Amino acid sequence: MADLSAQVQEPFDLVRLSLSERVFVKLKGERSLVGVLHAYDGHMNMIMSDVEETILLVEPEEEVNGAGTVQTVKRQLEMLFVRGDSVILVSPGAR
Amino acid sequence: MDSLIPFTTSGSLVDCVDKKVLIVLRDGRKLVGVLRSYDQFANLVLEDSYERIFHGLEYADVWKGVFVIRGENVVLLGEIDLDVEDEVPLVQVPLQHIMPLHNAENEVRKKNEIEKGKILMKHGFVKEGGEGDGY
Amino acid sequence: MLIFSVFKTLTDQVVTVELKNDLCITGTLKSVDQFLNIRLDKISVVDPERYPHMMAVKNCFIRGSVVRYVQIPATAVDTQLLEDATRREHASTHKR
């Protein structure tokens, strides 16, 4: 762990070490991605492959005892560009 | 070299100039008109423009005239295919007919957004977007 | 500039652009600029009933700031090349 903190001096160093690794990305709009990171830039724009997207769907219309329904939907995408302004966090080591 | 880059995409808007285009704005409004000018920020000048109000497959037009649109409010600019335009199953109806339906639809959407926010709050989320993100 | 360069190599590929309002547009990537504004040709909209205003639109300009994702054909990119280019750009922008 000591050599990791030596390699990571600023946030993007951690992202660089995640290149070609599977990462977890949390996005705005109740979305998250797990996929292999191939490219990024200073805006946190990213290109990922073999992506599984998870969306939290909220349906206020289908009221169940006044609470609405919440369900998760998953989707597979082979190669994806993600715009950085949607990104909340990037976490390495998503298995 | 860098000074040439802004003209790559904006440059390709050249072929939309003097054409009938549809603009979608960030608040969800749709404008139809003739594109007369633009710049690298996607600021646009629209002439003979209408706001087009939709409800299902019906629409109504509201005359607007000349508009300068600030680029940051533009979601999308689409060139209208004049050959296809008359064949799509859209029907123009009087404004009085569509306005109540359109308003009701917006009200329902607004209410749902608020409800959604409340439900998400219970799950530890906060709704994204704020003013001007209604598109 | 890296991502801009990647998109330039993707011109004439068929991509699907997903906007932050959930609208998905599939079309041929015609051009892109440094703001990642996108020009698509021969477009089709996923779920056209929800977006009737798009029916007569044949090509469009999408402002980069409203894009959430762009789905790219996996065969169109060399992932090894991408990672090397990213490391190089990282090194050049994080000189110490």
Q: Is C24 exposed, middle or buried (0-12, 13-18, 19+ CB in 10 A)?
A: middle
Domain ranges of chain A: 2-92
Give, in words, the CATH class of C2-93. Answer: mainly beta
Q: State the pLDDT confidence band at B5, using cuts at 50, 70 and 90.
A: very low
Domain ranges of chain C: 2-93
- Of residues C35, C52, C61, nearest to B54 (C-beta): C52
**Which of A70, A83, A85 is the best mutation test for B, with the most CBs of B within 10 A?**
A70
Q: For residue B131, what pLDDT is reported?
A: 47
Are A56 and B123 a contacting pair at CB < 8 A? yes
Residues 37-76 of C with CB under 8 A from B: 37-39, 43, 52-63, 65-66
pTM to 2 decimal places: 0.88
A77 neighbourhood in chain C, CB within 8 Å: 69, 71
Q: State the pLDDT confidence band at A62, using cuts at 50, 70 and 90.
A: low
Are B76 and C33 a contacting pair at CB < 8 A? no
Q: Residue A33 to residues A72, A87, A92, C96: CA-CA distances in angstroms?
A: 13, 10, 12, 32
Predicted ipTM of the assembly: 0.93
Q: Which two tokens stand for residue B115?
A: 């409800």
C5 neighbourhood in chain B, CB within 8 Å: none
Report the DSSP beta bridge partners of residue B50: B32, B63
Q: For residue A67, what pLDDT is reported?
A: 60
C96 has pLDDT over 80: no
CATH topology of domain B2-122: SH3 type barrels. (2.30.30)
B126 has pLDDT over 90: no
Percent with pLDDT over 70 in chain A: 87
Q: Which two tokens stand for residue B109?
A: 């959407």
Percent with pLDDT over 70 in chain B: 84
Per-residue pLDDT tens over the stretch C49-69: 899 999 999 999 999 999 999
- Please compute the mean of the pLDDT values over residues A5-22 and round it to a whole number: 88
B7 has pLDDT over 70: no
With contact defined as beta carbons under 8 Å apart, do B84 and C56 qualify? yes
Please check whether residue C95 touches A, CB under 8 A: no
Which partners does chain C have (≥3 C-beta pairs < 8 Å)? A, B
State the smallest CA–CA distance between residue A11 and chain C in angstroms: 11
Q: Residue B34 to residues B19, B65, B68, B69, B75: CA-CA distances in angstroms?
A: 5, 10, 12, 13, 17
Q: State the pLDDT confidence band at B8, using cuts at 50, 70 and 90.
A: low
Q: For residue B44, what pLDDT is reported?
A: 96
Q: State the pLDDT confidence band at B77, using cuts at 50, 70 and 90.
A: very high
Give, in words, the CATH class of A2-92. Answer: mainly beta
Q: For residue B114, what pLDDT is reported?
A: 87
The CA distance from A16 to C85, in Å, is 11
Q: For residue B9, what pLDDT is reported?
A: 56
Per-residue pLDDT tens over the stretch B24-46: 999 999 999 999 999 988 999 99
The CA distance from B50 to B9, in Å, is 26
Kind of pairing between the strands at B58-69 and B91-92? parallel
Q: For residue C65, what pLDDT is reported?
A: 94
